[in-house]
Amino acid sequence: MTEYNRMAKGTATVLANGGTAAIKLPFQPDYVEFLNYTAMTTPTATWIAKGYWDVNMGQGAAAFDSFNVTPVATSGTTLVNGISTFSAGQAFQFGATKQIVSITKANPAVVTVTAHGYSSGDVVVFQGLFQVPDVSGMQQIAGIPFTITVIDANSFSIPFNTNQTNFTALTLSPAGALVKKALFPYLYAPGSSIISAITLGTTTTVVTTTAHNFVVGQEVAFHIPSTYGTTGLNTLPNTVTPGSPVYGYVIAVTDYATCIVNINSTGMTPFNTNQPFNNFPGQQFAQIAAVGDVNTGGVQISAGSQLYPPPFIRPFANDRVNTINGPAIQGAFFNNTSQGFIIGTALALPAQAGQIIYWRAMLHDMSVPV
């Protein structure tokens, strides 16, 4: 029967640290197969050429075709790090915590984590950033999600200026200083973003610590605690019309983390991220958030586009990632709860980094028992 079957296909790349990035689909597949075009073009010892997974094998299992040391085609199975499906929940899910070796006083700050395994565009959260417990460190940025830029296998930068008087560099792997990756950081879009910098003027330029996912025409509100200075941008109170919120509109999107709002902030108190170390208990961060409902037109349908294009996010640089939704208003809130599958390190080895995989995933409407 095929009435309710769902099928999808696409391409993916083997990552340098093995495996593939999460492949998002509008369903959780119960069968996945792929072929590694590079490996099949040039057979090489230990390379994986094909992989297969059925939900009845269990999560992380797989059967595969590979090449032995000769190299001659052979086959095998795995119970771990094969193919697995995922479905994000209504709250953040995190990867394993990792020890921080150091964080520099710099703009941007550079974080050292031995063999971190992260990729540029990943979102991470810090905790326990004490150089001297309860005395000094960078606890002011603990709990803020940051989009990272990878420098090398052991270091990455974050879009934040820690070269300020109230920050103390972290060194020598301080106990309890940890970082973890947010596995699915954009559950709802556009959502709310933490602000790392504001440039005042006749229009207001805002830089966020993660992708804001705003579009031109987006209606936005500001929530800035008094310690950050620029409270004149806040949604309430409205001194002209009491009880009426003050909203702004995005008039330009510079990049994934920078947007320009039509609010004239000339003369307002400058934005200040040099927060005292002892302010961290119960700290509230400065935020910009999407408001309203319908703000812009939908995703355009044009020659070569999908017939029903989904709204998308831009999580890093010039990336464009389609969500799992059907047609929707681009600019309004939409649920971006992620689901799909991942090809693990048992089938996509680190030595095969950069190789091209062609995959096909299916969700069958019926499973017939024997």
**Helix, strand, or coil (residue 94):** strand
**Lowest-confidence region among 19-28, 133-142, 199-208:** 19-28
How high is the pLDDT of residue 245?
84
Query: For the residues of 288-356, what is the DSSP string, one character each?
Result: EEE-SS--S-BPPP-TTS-SSPPPEE--STT--EE-S--S-BBTB-EE---EEEEE-TTTS-GGGTT-E
* pLDDT tens-place string over residues 220-240: 999 999 999 999 999 887 666
Return the CATH number of the domain spanning residue range 186-336.
2.40.30.180
Per domain, the residue ranges of the chain are 6-88+338-363, 98-182, 186-336
Confirm whether 98-182 and 186-336 share one CATH topology.
yes
How high is the pLDDT of residue 359?
98
Distance CA 235, CA 107 (A): 29
How high is the pLDDT of residue 1?
46
The most confident of the ranges 99-108, 129-138, 245-254 is 99-108
How high is the pLDDT of residue 52?
98
Position 317 confidence tier, pLDDT thresholds 50, 70, 90: confident
* pLDDT tens-place string over residues 61-119: 999 999 999 999 999 999 999 999 988 876 778 989 999 999 999 999 999 999 998 98
How high is the pLDDT of residue 2?
54
* pLDDT tens-place string over residues 37-49: 999 999 999 999 9
Residue scoring higher pLDDT (248 or 241): 248
* Token pair listed for 358: 């062609």
Residue 57's identity, in one-letter code, is M
Specify the pTM: 0.83
Distance CA 213, CA 359 (A): 28
Return the CATH number of the domain spanning residue range 98-182.
2.40.30.180
